[in-house]
């Protein structure tokens, strides 16, 4: 167990207590939060007995890598969500699962490892002591707000990277292979982010359903704010995915256009080179021609080569063929 907290009447009265004291805290009318890192089956089974957790929810907590969801059981809820972090240098995004049991008097969070720092989550709770009287919904809101803000920050960073990459598309000095690799990496990160962001809309929508009475009127506004952030993040990911796809297609079109320009110029120069080849080939025939074997004939052939080549160069340059 990494963290634990106990609230009574909206005030923090205890923290970092042992796992076997949860029942005592709950029986005393407290609201508790317990954070477990990679707990074994025995620990979760003991916790299930104390809090009356369903065996299917316990199995999901043991076998992580669940789809973001909110499962409803008779006496509690099971939440699965993912915290995200974006690495700017590599363009990769990492996701870390957070599972949670939500009862009337306790929030139990479960993490696979300590890669998710919870200092920001704890700071959110400490910055809003006036909401602590709402009990467990106050704790759940802080957790969801922490997760969704991570999604929003990752989307924002991806947007900045994609915009910077788009500005480099039309630069002649940039390495096209580098742009292509970066584009595919950002698209891969967007697909992964989309998988964990989109299902969160359903999770928040379930919390906001008035017929379920999962949150009171006081916390409903705050859950609605988190839901708005989820909608913005999900719509943003869709927009960025289309933008990356368009950017990949644009990059391929630019490369095709540059290849056509190169082919056009090479063809133009080949036509110019064909003129001296034709003239010298003609004058190299073993038949008499005007000026054959004489200096005027040599000068006339040179003048013909230079004149025709210059004429073709001017014509091609005027038509932007070279």
pLDDT along the chain (322 residues), means of 10: 84 84 82 90 84 88 86 91 90 90 91 86 89 90 93 91 82 76 86 91 88 79 92 89 80 77 79 74 63 75 79 76 68
Pairing of strands 31-37, 106-111: parallel
The pLDDT, as a whole number, for residue 287 is 58
pTM of the model: 0.77
Out of 3.30.460.20, 2.60.40.10, 3.50.50.60, 3.40.50.9100, the CATH code matching 3-255 is 3.30.460.20
At 116 the pLDDT is 82
Produce one character per residue of 15-29: b if its CB has 16 or more CB atoms within 10 Å, e if not: eebebeebeebbeee
Q: Would you list the DSSP string of 118-178?
A: -HHHHHHHHH-GGGGGG-HHHHHHHHHHHHHHHHHHHHHHHHHHHHHHHHTTT-TTS-HHH
Task: Write out the residue limits of the CATH 3.30.460.20 domain(s) in the chain.
Answer: 3-255
Burial 113-146 (b: 16+ CB within 10 A, else e): eeebebeebbebbeeeeebbebbbbbbbbbbbbb
Q: What is the pLDDT of residue 75?
A: 87
Q: What angle do CA 223, 206, 152 make, to 5 degrees?
A: 50
């Amino acid at each position: 167990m990494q963290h634990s907290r106990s609230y009574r009447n909206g005030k923090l009265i205890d923290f970092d207590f042992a796992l076997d004291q949860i029942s005592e805290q709950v029986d005393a009318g407290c609201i508790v939060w317990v954070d477990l890192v990679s707990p074994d089956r025995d620990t979760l089974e003991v916790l299930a007995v104390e809090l009356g957790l369903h065996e299917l929810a316990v199995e999901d907590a043991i076998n992580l890598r669940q789809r973001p969801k909110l499962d409803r059981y008779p006496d509690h809820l099971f939440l699965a969500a993912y915290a995200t972090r974006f690495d700017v240098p590599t363009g990769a995004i990492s996701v870390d699962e957070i599972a949670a049991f939500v009862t009337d008097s306790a929030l139990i969070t479960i993490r696979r490892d300590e890669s998710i720092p919870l200092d920001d989550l704890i700071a959110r709770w400490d910055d809003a002591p006036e909401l602590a009287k709402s009990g467990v919904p106050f704790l759940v809101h802080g957790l969801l707000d922490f997760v969704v803000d991570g999604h929003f920050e990752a989307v924002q960073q991806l947007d900045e990277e994609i915009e910077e990459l788009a500005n480099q598309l039309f630069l002649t000095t940039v390495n096209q292979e580098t742009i292509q690799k970066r584009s595919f990496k950002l698209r891969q990160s967007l697909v992964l982010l989309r998988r964990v962001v989109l299902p969160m809309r359903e999770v928040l929508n379930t919390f906001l359903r008035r017929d379920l009475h999962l949150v009171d009127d006081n916390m409903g506004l705050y859950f609605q704010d988190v839901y708005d952030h989820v909608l913005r993040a999900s719509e943003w990911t869709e927009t960025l995915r289309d933008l990356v796809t368009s950017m990949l297609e644009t990059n391929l079109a630019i490369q095709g256009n540059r290849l056509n320009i190169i082919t056009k110029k090479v063809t133009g120069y080949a036509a110019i080179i064909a003129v001296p080849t034709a003239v010298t080939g003609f004058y190299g025939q073993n038949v008499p021609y005007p000026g054959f074997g004489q200096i005027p004939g040599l000068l006339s052939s040179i003048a013909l080569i230079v004149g025709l080549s210059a004429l073709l160069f001017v014509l091609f340059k005027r038509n932007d063929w070279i």
